[in-house]
A and B are shown apart, each in its own frame.
Chain A
Amino acid sequence: MENKDIQKNYIIDLKNISKTFDDTEVLKDISMYIKRNEFLTLLGPSGCGKTTLLRIVGGFEEPSRGEVYFEGENIINLPPYKRRINTVFQKYALFPHMNVEDNIAFGLHIKKIDKKLIKKKVSEMLELVNLKGFEKRSVDSLSGGQQQRIAIARALINEPEVLLLDEPLGALDLKLRKGMQLELKKIQQKVGITFIYVTHDQEEALTMSDTIAVMNEGRVQQIGSPVDIYNEPKNAFVANFIGESNILEGKMIRDCLVVFHNTHFECVDGGFDEQESIDVVVRPEDIQIVSQEEGMLKGTVESVTFKGVHYEMLVNTGEFLWTIHSTAMSYIGQVVGLIITPADIHIMKRR
């Protein structure tokens, strides 16, 4: 019965999905659940298989092995036009031979819905995406950001259970992208459906998602909330891909005590074997620079770069070159001390 409750909560259930293109395996045995009404992001570098996974959910690609369950029903043989899932394509894929209204109404026209109702719904949708009164505009006359909104409206008007978004902000410039991130999140909360979002931009993923699935080389590396993934990366790939990190090899002495950099550190992680080899992740902004006497480690500043909000400094402690972000500036050649608090030391299983 408990199982049933979980099933109710999950809208999509991917089971052992594998996909091979011409002898290259792009997806390797992926299993995951996607919750109802959540904003899930598939995050990973290009070629990690995230888009392929999205296309499998959308029905544009058939997996070589595995199943896709939608509300408990296997939909692997269902063509895209029979799935209650809609997609916002990478380059929007707006029909160039139709105006804005006809593009948005495309799905409803097919369902042969009353013309007046269609008109009303289209204008509602345009309002949702902040493009009121754009009905008769031609698609080519719109800017990238506007086309993007039309693509979202065109998908949402069909009232899908799940909306798939394939790097929809990739073609926009930085400023527009930031604005659209917030807006997309707002739209998702307003319509209250599941969004599955594909991106390679970790910042975007952290800003928008309820859940992030980090992918690499056809495998899901870690699934979790943005905070979890940022603070507790499961392995070196995730740690490196989500933000910058200092990653060192180390050994667990016992629970809450770790040795790396030839130094003992207290930490908050446990559950490892004694003497187990592990990787240690320390975020650049979690390292404090103090005078050399106060520091747990001692090193020389090798370079200082101003990054806008903070300075990025490289500090050489002999054993390791640390990347440190700080609002206070040090000088090249200065000998400084470093402090890392137990909560900022993240222990990962060695792969």
Chain B
Amino acid sequence: MISFIKKSYVVIILIIMYAPIALLMLFSFNNSKLPIWKGFTLSWYAKMFNDASIQQAFMYTIIIAIISSFAATVIGTFAAMGINRMVSWQKNIAMNITYIPLLSPDIIIGISLMMLFSVIKLPFGLPTLIVSHITFSTPYVILSVMPKLKQMDYNLYEAALDLGATPWYAFKKVIFPEIMPGVIAGAFIAFTLSIDDFVVSFFNKGAGVDTLSIKIYSMARKGVNPTINAISTIMFSTIIIILLVMNIKVNKKLSKSQTK
């Protein structure tokens, strides 16, 4: 009896969580603008693929995600290695700065960067989007690499130097393989955050440069539009496929980057 109640509770919560997503996906194949089933169609997908502005938004989203997650991974990995070697007061300062973007509301990150870009007169567009995405995702990379560095035996690196390796060679052959899982997880988190971001991009986009999230937002405000369902279906599926293909134990990674 108790186990039945428990199971039903879990099932009900999962239904509430997934029903809207499932229905959204379902109606992306519906042959009607209204949410009443009128038969199967791919016309919304066709519409989506023929819409130049959606294509452009899609391209921008991917470009921004790739560039920003790559940059964040490089900057963040080196940063974690550097911070790890700092004495404790320096480390404290560096980590506190790192926590700011994690703990600040998105909207604050968005508007503060927006003010900075207007003050330094950086034109809003692709560069501002990339810079802002790097800024909010680098801390996640650092927090994902940091535990791996702490686990690593520093003697390994010294042993490599002792055996005649150059620092760069030692990094490549000793440190990097050890922290690799953290780096990959960090890159993955950065990429997903970039694709999913709406708030920060919303404040830092430029005229004619939209990401998919922003495109959807402006379409959604004009009312129901099954094309959005089609885009959403593709975005949801992409995320799920990435998760499955990379076979990442989501819960583990998430516990490391619990915020957000």
Q: Do chains A and B touch in the complex (CB under 8 A)?
A: no
